[in-house]
Amino acid sequence: MIVNAAAVIIGYLFGSIPSAYIAGRLVRGVDIREMGGGNVGALNTMREIGLLPGAAVLAADIGKGSAAVLIARWLELPLVWIFGAGFAAVVGHNWPLFLGFKGGKGAATTIGVLLALTPVEAAISLAIMLVIIILTSNIRLAIVVGLILLPLFIWQSGGPGILIAYSAALFLFLGLRSLPSIRQAVLNPLERRNLIFDREHHFWQARKR
């Protein structure tokens, strides 16, 4: 039980590493929480700090989720505790110890967890996300579609039911975490026009002029 608990704690601490905050301080000397939408994540970093810093934050946040799962696997823990370590990484990103428990939404870290658990199916979902981003410039829409389809891909490939349920549960958790911003976008006429096609940003998320 000590090893199991340690894996979950390690997952949470990995998730708590505030990649976007660090990038903002290193690149521009700014607090990402005071820029754009205030979200401590890759998308806000990409839009407010720059494409390359945002890409680095994206890679780091994905890596946090994957690392939590891989460490738990290395420790040869039961599957339920591997799932727990992955979920702890997502919780750590959303409520990080190092930023007063105020973090991001957890999409990239969730993707990292799923990539480590089911790499082929998650890679297919990522490819679909990329196509949607190129066509619509809408990263939120791409994440929703990709994560909705992932349990279907796992089922189609004969994956275990518990993994299907876990991937669906992570998507629901991410949706609940994002619910306030989704509600705001639906109620705001200016944001509502961007629910499918983002007319304010290019697909690489630079603001259109």
Residues lower than pLDDT 50 in the chain: none
pLDDT at 185: 65
pLDDT at 196: 85
Per the confidence metrics, is the pTM higher than 0.85?
A: yes
* Cα distance between residue 143 and residue 170, in whole Å: 12
* Cα distance between residue 33 and residue 171, in whole Å: 24
Answer for the pair 168, 153: CB distance below 8 angstroms, yes or no.
no
pLDDT at 200: 85
Closest-CA residue to 108 (of 131, 139, 149)? 139
pLDDT at 186: 66
pLDDT at 179: 79
Alpha helix positions (H), 75-118: 79-94, 107-117
Answer for the pair 128, 145: CB distance below 8 angstroms, yes or no.
yes
* Cα distance between residue 26 and residue 9, in whole Å: 27
pLDDT at 194: 76
Cα 190 from chain centroid (whole Å): 25
